[in-house]
């Protein structure tokens, strides 16, 4: 990226060109489907019309054959024969009985017939092909139509003109076209409106909400209100609403973290100078020969050194980024004693302190980070007991236990407070997810969980206990046998 080119976040968004939306695409899709439906309806309909027309001619020829065959000696005057043929729209009528083929009547019979149509062997495909050929032809060809005959005759045949049949087919096509067009337009309109209201409008609502939410993702007013639909669109609306709520909550947390980081950086800048001055005073205080001063001065200097180092790391990184733990095997009990004194519980007689650490229990951890983890848990426990009645001293207890299970050190911090609410357990170790306690920042458990995970361990809330019990499990680092053997060989 060149220096003159603005960053991606500051570039104006390219708006998509105004093209057909879902409604337009739906309309363009409906039109060819309607045309295809018209063709699928028209082709068998016109073939069926032609077959019915030819069957009508055969039925009229059968009636004429009965009349002509009933004449005495089969003699019918030519004028009467022409009238009968004109009434049925035929040029000739013949019938076959046994081995004899008999011409009952004829008028203007051509020398040759152009097409033969046998209705006895007519198939659906041949009917469609013949009907298309009939409509594409021009002129007035003749057709010999053969069909079953009543009585003992084998078949009856009649010769008709093709032009009247073609004209009737064209009239039927026009009528069918206009009727189908009206029905198709109404059907297409109803389908279009139904799809528009069922799918297009909800999709427009979803896209409009997405565009509006993108403009201001931190506003909870832009979260879509899902409808009561139970189909896929309803599921999409509900999932989008949940996703937007989670995103708004996350952005609020990020904004709060950013504001907190800026405030902490400003405070730490001045706090570091004050702590440095306090460290100088503590150095002078260490030279006082008073036994009590000599007892507490090292602890005071240790606390000041921790505070200065933490402030320095905050200013260096611009945020509370934890350094990698400096792990080594340390005793757990001295850390627990220091935690109790730092939390101010050594002189608090209202809270009973119970320490049940295995004798000589060691843990592979960073002592400063382990101190911070236990201090956060103990302070949370003490604050949870603040609302309990102090008259009942037996219920004001904080208990720390420690044991080793193989290569894993287990430390549990429990209290007899009201416990963790059910609605706070899903996000217990996330920043700013407090349990509703007044004055809580929601960072203690998040910091403790981050430090424990940095050691490759885990921290969990133990279910089914009185009050709240947090269990810390930190495994020992794997030992490289080759390096130990080399160290022993060098020794």
pLDDT tens-digit map of 131-168: 888 888 888 888 888 888 876 778 888 888 888 888 89
CA–CA dist 453, 457 (Å, integer): 5
Which pLDDT does position 1 carry in this prediction?
45
Is the CB of residue 104 less than 8 Å from the CB of residue 69?
yes
Which pLDDT does position 192 carry in this prediction?
77
Q: Which two tokens stand for residue 282?
A: 């503590």
Give whole-number Cα distances, 86 to 80, 145, 249, 377, 434, in Å: 10, 16, 90, 112, 102
Which pLDDT does position 130 carry in this prediction?
87
Q: Which two tokens stand for residue 138?
A: 């021009």
The dihedral region occupied by 92, where left means phi > 0, alpha psi between -120 and 50, and beta the remainder, is beta
Lowest mean pLDDT among 111-115, 326-330, 372-376, 399-403: 111-115
448-463 average pLDDT score? 90
Cβ atoms < 10 Å from Cβ of 143: 20
Which pLDDT does position 28 carry in this prediction?
77
pLDDT of 470 higher than 50: yes
Between 109 and 382, the more confident residue is 382
pLDDT tens-digit map of 235-293: 888 888 888 888 888 888 777 777 766 666 666 655 655 565 565 556 666 666 777 66
CA–CA dist 402, 409 (Å, integer): 7
pLDDT of 72 higher than 70: no
pLDDT tens-digit map of 27-39: 777 778 878 888 8
Lowest mean pLDDT among 33-42, 177-186, 308-317: 308-317
Which pLDDT does position 147 carry in this prediction?
87
pLDDT band at 404 (very low <50, low <70, confident <90, very high): very high
CA–CA dist 8, 1 (Å, integer): 10
pLDDT of 321 higher than 70: no
pLDDT of 99 higher than 70: yes
Q: Please enumerate in sequence order all residues whose Cβ is within 8 A of that of 49, keeping only pairs 6 or more positions apart, or say none.
A: 131, 168, 169, 172
Which pLDDT does position 287 carry in this prediction?
65
pLDDT of 300 higher than 80: no
Lowest mean pLDDT among 4-8, 327-331, 338-342: 4-8
- Percentage of the chain beyond pLDDT 70 is 75
Which pLDDT does position 402 carry in this prediction?
94
pLDDT band at 9 (very low <50, low <70, confident <90, very high): very low
Task: Say what the pTM is.
Answer: 0.44
pLDDT tens-digit map of 339-398: 888 777 877 778 889 999 999 999 999 998 999 899 889 988 888 887 666 555 557 889
């Amino acid at each position: 990226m060149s220096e003159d080119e603005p960053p991606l976040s500051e570039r104006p968004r390219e708006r998509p060109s105004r093209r057909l939306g879902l409604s337009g695409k739906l309309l363009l899709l409906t039109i060819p489907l309607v045309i295809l439906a018209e063709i699928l309806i028209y082709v068998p309909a016109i073939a069926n019309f032609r077959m019915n027309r030819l069957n009508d001619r055969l039925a009229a020829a059968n009636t004429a054959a009965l009349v002509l065959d009933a004449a005495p000696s089969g003699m019918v005057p030519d004028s009467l024969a022409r009238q009968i043929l004109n009434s049925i729209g035929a040029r000739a009528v013949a019938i076959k009985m046994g081995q004899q083929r008999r011409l009952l009547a004829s008028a203007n019979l051509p020398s040759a017939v152009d097409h033969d149509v046998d209705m006895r062997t007519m198939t659906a495909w041949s009917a469609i092909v013949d009907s298309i050929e009939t409509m594409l032809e021009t002129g007035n060809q003749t057709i010999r139509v053969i069909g079953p005959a009543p009585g003992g005759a084998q078949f009856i045949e009649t010769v008709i003109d093709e032009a009247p049949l073609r004209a009737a087919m064209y009239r039927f096509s026009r009528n069918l076209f206009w009727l189908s067009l009206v029905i198709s337009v109404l059907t297409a309109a109803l389908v279009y409106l139904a799809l528009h209201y069922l799918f297009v409008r909800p999709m427009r609502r979803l896209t409009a909400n997405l565009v509006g939410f993108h403009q201001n993702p931190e506003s909870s007013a832009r979260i879509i209100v899902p409808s009561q639909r139970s189909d896929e669109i309803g599921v999409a609306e509900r999932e989008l609403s949940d996703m937007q709520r989670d995103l708004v909550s996350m952005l609020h947390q990020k904004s709060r973290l950013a504001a907190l980081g800026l405030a902490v950086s400003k405070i730490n800048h001045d706090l570091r100078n004050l702590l440095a001055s306090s460290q100088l005073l503590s150095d002078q205080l260490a030279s006082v020969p008073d036994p009590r001063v000599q007892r507490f001065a090292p602890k005071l200097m240790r606390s000041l050194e921790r505070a200065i180092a933490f402030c320095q790391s905050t200013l260096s990184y611009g945020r509370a980024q934890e350094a990698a733990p400096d792990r080594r095997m340390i005793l757990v009990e001295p850390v627990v004693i220091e935690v109790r004194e730092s939390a101010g519980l050594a002189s608090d007689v209202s809270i009973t302190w119970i320490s049940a650490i295995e004798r000589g229990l060691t843990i592979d951890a960073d002592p400063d980070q382990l101190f911070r983890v236990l201090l956060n848990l103990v302070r949370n426990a003490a604050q949870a007991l603040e609302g309990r009645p102090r008259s009942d001293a037996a219920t004001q207890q904080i208990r720390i236990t420690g044991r080793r299970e193989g290569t894993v050190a287990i430390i549990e911090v429990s209290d007899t407070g009201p416990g963790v609410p059910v609605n706070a357990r899903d996000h217990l170790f996330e920043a700013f997810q407090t349990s509703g306690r007044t004055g809580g920042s929601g960072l203690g458990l998040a910091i403790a969980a981050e430090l424990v995970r940095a050691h490759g361990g885990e921290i969990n809330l133990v279910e089914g206990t009185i009050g709240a019990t947090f269990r810390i499990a930190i495994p020992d680092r794997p030992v490289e046998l080759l390096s130990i053997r080399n160290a022993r060989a060098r020794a």
